[in-house]
C-alpha cells in the first residue's frame, strides 16, 4: 500500500456488497467532529417509521450512545461517524424489501444495527449461517451468533484506483424481536478497524443495552 493510503473495512452481506458501499458513502460525506462524538445523520429523518417498524434514524439514535465506547471495551474512543438510513433491494420475482440500518464508526470498532421484517424466524435462519453459527438467548429471545468477513477497500495516496479485498472478521448477532420468534429480527454487527477478531463479550454488552432502547421493544415475560 502506498504512502498515505487509507483503508477501512465494511461488512459485506452474503453475495451483496451494497451495505459496504452505503457505508463508504457515509464515510466520505462526513468529517469527524473535532468538538466531540459524532451525531447521527440520516437519509430518512423526515420519514416516520411505518407502523410496527423502526426507521434507520431511530436505530442510529439507539446505537449512538454516549457509553458505546465503554461497552465495547475501548472507553477512550469516541464516535467518528454515525448515520442511519434504509437499504432497498429488488428481487427476481419483483418483490422489494426495505431494510432500516444504522452504523456508528469509532476509532477502534465499527458497529452496525439493522432490522428485518422478512418473516424469517431466527430458528430457521441458523441453517443458512454456516457450521460455526451458535444458538444463544439474548434478553429472553432466540438469537444466533456467527461470523462474516469484512470487505477491505484501500485508497492509494498516489491517485491510483481503489482496491478491494478480504478484510477482517465481523461478529454478528441475530436476535428475534419477540420471545415467540415470529419472524422479525434485529441484527447487531461489530468489526475492528485493525482487523483483529472482535470481542464477543463486547458484542453482547452492546446488545443488552442497545436493543431495549429501540422504539417498540417489549420486555420478555
Cα distance between residue 124 and residue 33, in whole Å: 42
Q: What is the mean pLDDT of residues 1-8?
A: 30
Nearest-10 Cα torsion for 92, 94, 95, 101: 60
d(CA 31, CA 108) in angstroms, rounded, equals: 17
pLDDT of the residue at 34: 42
pTM of this structure:
0.77
**Per-residue pLDDT at 10 exceeds 50:** no
Contact 42, 86 (CB under 8 A): no
pLDDT one-digit tens code per residue, 125-183: 998 888 889 999 999 999 999 998 665 555 555 565 564 544 578 999 999 999 999 99
Query: How far, rounded to the nearest angstrom, does the alpha carbon of residue 43 sit from its chain's CA centroid?
Result: 16
The residue extents of the domains of the chain are 6-213
> Poorest-confidence range of 34-43, 77-86, 137-146?
34-43
Amino acid at each position: 500500500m502506498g504512502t498515505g493510503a487509507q483503508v477501512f473495512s465494511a461488512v459485506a452481506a452474503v453475495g451483496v456488497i451494497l451495505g459496504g458501499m452505503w457505508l463508504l458513502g457515509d464515510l466520505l460525506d462526513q468529517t469527524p467532529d473535532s468538538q466531540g462524538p459524532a451525531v447521527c445523520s440520516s437519509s430518512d429523518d423526515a420519514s416516520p417509521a411505518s407502523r410496527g417498524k423502526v426507521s434507520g434514524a431511530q436505530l442510529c439514535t439507539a446505537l449512538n450512545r454516549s457509553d458505546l465506547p465503554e461497552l465495547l471495551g475501548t472507553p477512550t474512543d469516541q464516535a467518528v461517524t454515525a448515520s442511519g438510513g434504509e437499504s432497498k433491494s429488488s428481487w427476481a420475482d419483483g418483490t422489494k424489501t426495505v431494510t432500516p440500518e444504522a452504523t456508528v464508526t469509532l476509532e477502534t470498532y465499527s458497529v452496525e444495527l439493522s432490522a428485518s421484517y422478512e418473516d424469517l424466524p431466527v430458528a430457521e435462519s441458523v441453517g443458512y449461517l454456516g457450521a460455526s453459527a451458535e444458538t444463544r438467548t439474548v434478553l429472553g429471545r432466540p438469537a444466533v451468533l456467527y461470523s462474516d468477513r469484512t470487505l477491505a477497500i484501500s485508497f492509494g495516496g498516489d491517485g491510483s484506483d481503489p482496491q478491494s479485498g478480504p478484510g477482517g472478521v465481523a461478529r454478528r448477532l441475530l436476535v428475534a424481536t419477540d420471545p415467540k420468534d415470529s419472524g422479525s429480527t434485529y441484527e447487531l454487527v461489530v468489526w475492528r478497524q485493525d482487523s483483529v477478531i472482535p470481542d464477543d463479550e463486547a458484542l453482547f454488552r452492546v446488545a443488552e443495552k442497545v436493543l431495549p432502547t429501540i422504539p417498540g421493544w417489549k420486555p420478555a415475560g
